[in-house]
């Protein structure tokens, strides 16, 4: 029912009277306004817009429809039919690991005979096709509303079957109980894939029953996937043209014109990013970080210099580029409906912005053009030939790529200058050696780039990132410089903030405090996550305002961080905001509760809140979903240890070591546990392993030394004490234990030496001087 808001249309009656307009005239004007409002398109209620399907769009947008038709969005998913299935289901066979799978048709439907749940052979019907080029996958329905992605995949270029694991998980044996096995959660369509291949996708996962009720309005990525539900736009289109206004975005929920580059990129980012999801993606928001958190371009998902390594889906590569920093957006290069690049041919796309006379020249790239005399590069005994002229193409030097899912070549959208010098220093790839001259060394390529372009090189964030990863404290200065320099891409500044938080100091503390107020939500979010706990009062004082941040990404991190604060430090006003934030956090984690990581996060939250029953339930659920997800096992073990259940603690920690023998902290935790249980021989073994794996951790050596001392293994104990002392000579625990150890062995000379070193560092320590005096007296 129409309601007119008089407060929006106030009329100055006194001014009208002064103009000779009567009361009756005023009433006529008001009536006219009311009548106009009743027929005005502002009555369109976009909040009530519903999805109506692409067929409603074609009449007015025929050109856009035909451009979209046949695109990767159009072919993202479909029902399995003779027209849509590209793979060979004519009794085709595929052998792997000694088992022959068979693809066949029966009664007009498509089937595969292969190993299923628990590794047992079975026949499974194909319900949907997934993707179109250069590969097509197939979805198999299971109970509980699940659809699983068959790993036997069709290569649409070579026209043959292949197994995805052979390219993605080379050398690994994916067993039926592995999260990655095709009938388990790692290959689950509902949670892993669906939201970006269909329109108006609602996952509808029930965390209690583990059942999916997934729905969509259109099976592929159609008009409303980007433009939002369009029922109100149809109403707007029915209004006579002379009565339309354009201040309501034509009745469309999503604004796609006259928006910033960041806003437009955000509309693509939800699907074209490696990220965590906070809720169903029904249509883009003005703030993308209200519905997702992006993966930063850091190890192990990217090379240390930000180049693509694992699947990245473009976003976190592109937003570290110079193009992004100069407001280049997706649609500058790609047609929004066909998705194709706007210009085909030699460098034409790049030359839309970059002057041909400056960049498309031999003096810039130092490579021959197609058709010039020269010899092609022949690699792998003739399996790969790189023709003359390929080196003159911009994308081959500035957008190198790699193969994903076995056959899908994807280019790196960070659009960088090749740096073979960094390959030498950091072990990162470069376009020269990784794309073309694979038979040459990085030194060979670096010599040429130095010859062509000179010695001067720009600093690159990969250098301090590499130092930070190796534990080099000297990286703090460079990391600080990256964080505070607004000329750096925000996502790189955020990544630098994360590394900076690993090196607590007054300098890093001051920078992190400053980033809490940065305009970019990625910086604020990482500042919250990296904020050091020095004193609870300061921690609460700085982080509690972030509970009211305008962006959900920041609120989630703030709520998680502050949930661990003891209740006495949270006043009643902060508690209101924190309770609201915790509820939002739990809601978001329940949305993705089909993932082990989200269940683990819920376990941590309930543990912080003191609800140990719910914490245990969620940790166990994380382990059920993915038995290899060790963080849940470790945190559950720590919870059992606090509760005094050391038997369960021991079982879990030993299981982690069995599956992940490379994790040093687990050996350390197990060593401390065994010492607590009184099994000092076992404790010494685990602590020794931890000491070997973590040679730079003095506390590990110290606890090993105490255990060995108890076992009367004195030479080994002394060696461990000295390792701890040499790593941290300013630690009172270490010097006290070492001096005591020496005196017990009646080695006054060494005891005196260590005491003198300590007194030189701490001349105010009277007890140390008194001990030295007593030694000298004897």
User: How far is Cα 221 from Cα 200, in angstroms, rounded to an integer?
Assistant: 9
Q: What pLDDT is stored for residue 44 in this prediction?
A: 54
The two structure tokens encoding residue 141: 């329905």
Q: What pLDDT is stored for residue 269 in this prediction?
A: 93
Q: What pLDDT is stored for residue 167 in this prediction?
A: 80
Q: Which of 1-5, 71-75, 729-733, 771-775 has the highest mean pLDDT?
A: 71-75
Q: Is the pLDDT of residue 2 over 80?
A: no
Mean pLDDT over all residues of the chain?
Answer: 90
CB 484 within 8 A of CB 514: yes
The CB-side HSE value for 147 (13 A sphere, CA atoms) comes to 22
The proportion of the chain whose per-residue pLDDT surpasses 70, expressed as a percent, equals 93
User: How far is Cα 61 from Cα 63, in angstroms, rounded to an integer?
Assistant: 6
Residue 668: CB atoms within 10 A of its CB come to 22
The two structure tokens encoding residue 439: 């038979």
Structure confidence by residue, pLDDT tens digits, 450-480:
999 998 888 999 999 999 999 899 999 999 9
Q: What pLDDT is stored for residue 508 in this prediction?
A: 94
| Helix, strand, or coil (residue 743) | helix
CB 273 within 8 A of CB 292: yes
CB 496 within 8 A of CB 464: yes
Structure confidence by residue, pLDDT tens digits, 194-239:
999 999 999 999 999 999 999 999 999 999 999 999 999 999 999 9
Structure confidence by residue, pLDDT tens digits, 352-405:
999 999 999 999 999 999 999 999 988 888 888 889 999 999 999 999 999 999
| Helix, strand, or coil (residue 169) | coil
Task: For residue 147, list its beta bridge partners.
Answer: 141
Q: What pLDDT is stored for residue 446 in this prediction?
A: 95
User: How far is Cα 315 from Cα 269, in angstroms, rounded to an integer?
Assistant: 6
Q: Is the pLDDT of residue 253 over 60?
A: yes
Residues 6+ apart with CB under 8 A from 665: 690, 694
Q: What pLDDT is stored for residue 285 in this prediction?
A: 67
Structure confidence by residue, pLDDT tens digits, 626-638:
999 999 999 999 9
Give the N- to C-terminal CA distance of the chain in Å, as an integer: 100
User: How far is Cα 227 from Cα 200, in angstroms, rounded to an integer?
Assistant: 11
Handedness of CA 328, 333, 338, 339 (dihedral sign): negative
Instruction: Give the residue ranges of DSSP H helices in 172-286.
Output: 189-192, 223-227, 231-238, 261-269
Q: What pLDDT is stored for residue 102 in this prediction?
A: 98
Residues 6+ apart with CB under 8 A from 179: 185, 186, 596, 625, 626, 627, 628, 629
Q: Is the pLDDT of residue 652 over 60?
A: yes
Give pairs for 159-167: CB < 8 Å, separation 24+.
159/88, 161/87, 161/88, 161/92, 161/94, 161/103, 162/406, 162/407, 163/94, 163/96, 164/405, 164/406, 166/96, 166/406, 167/403, 167/405, 167/406, 167/407
Q: What pLDDT is stored for residue 168 in this prediction?
A: 80
pLDDT band at 63 (very low <50, low <70, confident <90, very high): very high
Q: Is the pLDDT of residue 271 over 80?
A: yes
Structure confidence by residue, pLDDT tens digits, 89-99:
999 999 998 99
Q: What pLDDT is stored for residue 14 in this prediction?
A: 31
CB 702 within 8 A of CB 687: no
Q: What pLDDT is stored for residue 37 in this prediction?
A: 39
User: How far is Cα 480 from Cα 507, in angstroms, rounded to an integer?
Assistant: 8
Structure confidence by residue, pLDDT tens digits, 553-594:
999 999 999 999 999 999 999 999 999 999 999 999 999 999
Q: 26 or 162: whose pLDDT is higher?
A: 162
Structure confidence by residue, pLDDT tens digits, 20-61:
434 334 333 333 333 333 344 445 565 689 999 999 999 999
CB 116 within 8 A of CB 183: yes
User: How far is Cα 621 from Cα 449, in angstroms, rounded to an integer?
Assistant: 53
> What is the largest distance, in Å, between two alpha-carbon atoms of the chain?
115
pLDDT band at 735 (very low <50, low <70, confident <90, very high): confident
User: How far is Cα 405 from Cα 399, in angstroms, rounded to an integer?
Assistant: 19
- Nearest Cα residue to 598 out of 139, 269, 276: 276
Beta strands 128-130; 135-141: pairing state: antiparallel
Residue 518: CB atoms within 10 A of its CB come to 20
The two structure tokens encoding residue 444: 């060979």
User: How far is Cα 49 from Cα 70, in angstroms, rounded to an integer?
Assistant: 27
The two structure tokens encoding residue 157: 């270029």
Q: 412 or 745: whose pLDDT is higher?
A: 412
Q: What pLDDT is stored for residue 765 in this prediction?
A: 81
Q: What pLDDT is stored for residue 24 in this prediction?
A: 39
User: How far is Cα 2 from Cα 40, in angstroms, rounded to an integer?
Assistant: 11
User: How far is Cα 722 from Cα 735, in angstroms, rounded to an integer?
Assistant: 9
Q: What pLDDT is stored for residue 281 in this prediction?
A: 87
The two structure tokens encoding residue 663: 């994790």
Structure confidence by residue, pLDDT tens digits, 276-333:
999 998 765 678 999 999 999 999 999 999 999 999 999 999 999 999 999 999 999 9
> Region 179-191: what's the mean pLDDT?
95
User: How far is Cα 362 from Cα 422, in angstroms, rounded to an integer?
Assistant: 24
Q: What pLDDT is stored for residue 18 in this prediction?
A: 38
The two structure tokens encoding residue 535: 């004193």
Query: Cα angle at 712 between 710 and 713, to 5 degrees?
Result: 110
The CB-side HSE value for 160 (13 A sphere, CA atoms) comes to 7
User: How far is Cα 502 from Cα 36, in angstroms, rounded to an integer?
Assistant: 62
> Region 511-522: what's the mean pLDDT?
97
Q: What pLDDT is stored for residue 732 in this prediction?
A: 87
Question: Quick one: CA torsion of 210, 216, 221, 223, rounded to 10 degrees?
Answer: -150
CB 639 within 8 A of CB 616: yes
């Amino acid at each position: 029912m129409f309601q007119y808001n008089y407060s929006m249309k106030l009329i100055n009656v006194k001014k009208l009277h002064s103009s000779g307009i009567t009361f009756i005239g005023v009433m006529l004007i008001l009536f006219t306004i009311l009548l106009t409002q009743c027929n005005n398109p502002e009555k369109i209620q976009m909040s009530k817009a519903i999805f109506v399907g692409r067929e409603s769009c074609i009449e007015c947008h025929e050109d856009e429809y035909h451009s979209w038709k046949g695109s990767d969005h159009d072919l993202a998913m479909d029902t399995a039919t003779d027209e849509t299935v590209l793979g060979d289901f004519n009794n085709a066979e595929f052998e792997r690991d000694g088992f022959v799978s068979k693809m066949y048709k029966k009664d007009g439907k498509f089937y595969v005979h292969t190993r299923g749940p628990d590794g047992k052979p079975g026949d499974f019907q194909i319900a949907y096709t997934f993707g179109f080029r250069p590969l097509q996958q197939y979805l198999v329905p299971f109970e509980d509303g699940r659809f699983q992605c068959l790993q036997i995949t069709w290569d649409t270029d070579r026209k043959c079957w292949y197994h995805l694991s052979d390219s993605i998980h080379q050398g690994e044996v994916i067993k039926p109980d592995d999260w990655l096995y095709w009938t388990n959660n790692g290959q689950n369509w509902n949670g892993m894939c669906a939201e970006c291949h269909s329109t108006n996708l609602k996952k509808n996962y029930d965390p209690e029953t583990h059942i999916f009720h997934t729905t969509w309005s259109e099976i592929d990525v159609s008009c409303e996937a980007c433009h939002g539900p369009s029922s109100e736009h149809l109403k707007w289109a029915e209004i006579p043209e002379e009565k339309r206004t354009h201040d309501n975005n034509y009745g469309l929920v999503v604004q796609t014109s006259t928006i910033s580059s960041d806003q437009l990129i955000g509309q693509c980012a939800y699907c074209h990013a490696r990220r965590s999801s906070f809720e169903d993606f029904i249509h883009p928001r003005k703030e993308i970080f209200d519905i997702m958190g992006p993966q930063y371009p850091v190890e192990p998902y990217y090379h240390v210099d930000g180049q693509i390594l694992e699947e990245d889906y473009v976003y976190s590569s592109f937003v570290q580029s110079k193009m992004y920093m100069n407001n280049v957006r997706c649609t500058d290069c790609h047609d929004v409906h066909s998705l194709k690049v706007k210009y085909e041919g030699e460098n034409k796309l790049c030359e839309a912005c970059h002057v041909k006379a400056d960049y498309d020249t031999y003096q810039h790239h130092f490579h021959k053009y197609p058709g010039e005399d020269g010899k092609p590069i022949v690699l792998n005994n003739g399996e790969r030939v790189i023709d003359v002229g390929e080196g003159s193409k911009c994308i081959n030097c500035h957008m190198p790529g790699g193969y994903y899912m076995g056959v899908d070549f994807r280019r790196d959208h960070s659009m960088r200058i090749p740096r073979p010098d960094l390959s030498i220093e950091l072990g990162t790839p470069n376009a020269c050696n990784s794309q073309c001259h694979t038979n040459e060394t990085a030194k060979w390529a670096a010599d040429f780039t130095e010859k062509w372009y000179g010695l001067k090189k720009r600093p690159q964030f990969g250098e301090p990132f590499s130092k930070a990863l190796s534990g080099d404290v000297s990286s703090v200065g460079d990391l600080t410089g990256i964080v505070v320099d607004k000329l750096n891409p925000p996502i790189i500044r955020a990544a630098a903030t994360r590394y900076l938080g690993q090196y607590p100091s007054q300098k890093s503390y001051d920078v992190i405090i400053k980033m809490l107020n940065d305009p970019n939500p990625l910086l604020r979010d990482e500042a919250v996550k990296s904020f050091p706990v020095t004193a609870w009062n300061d921690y609460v004082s700085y982080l509690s305002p972030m509970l009211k941040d305008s962006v959900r990404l920041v609120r989630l991190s703030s709520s998680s961080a502050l949930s661990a604060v003891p209740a006495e430090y949270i006043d009643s006003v902060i508690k209101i905001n924190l309770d609201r934030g915790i509820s939002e956090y739990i809601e978001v984690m329940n949305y993705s509760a089909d993932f082990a990581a989200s269940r683990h996060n819920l376990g941590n939250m309930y543990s912080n809140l003191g609800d140990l029953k719910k914490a245990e339930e969620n940790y166990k659920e994380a382990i059920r979903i993915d038995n290899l997800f060790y963080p849940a096992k470790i945190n559950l073990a720590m919870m059992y240890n606090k509760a005094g259940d050391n038997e369960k603690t021991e079982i879990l920690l030993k299981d982690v070591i069995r599956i992940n023998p490379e994790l040093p902290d687990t050996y350390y935790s197990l060593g401390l546990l065994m010492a607590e249980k009184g099994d000092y021989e076992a404790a010494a073994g685990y602590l020794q392993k931890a000491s070997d794996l973590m040679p730079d951790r003095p506390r590990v050596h110290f606890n090993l030394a105490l255990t060995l001392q108890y076992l009367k293994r004195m030479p080994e104990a002394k060696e461990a004490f000295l390792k701890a002392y040499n790593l941290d000579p300013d630690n009172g625990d270490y010097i006290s234990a070492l001096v005591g150890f020496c005196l017990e062995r009646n080695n006054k000379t060494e005891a005196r030496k260590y005491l003198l070193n300590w007194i030189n560092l701490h001349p105010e320590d009277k007890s140390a001087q008194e001990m030295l005096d007593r030694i000298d007296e004897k």
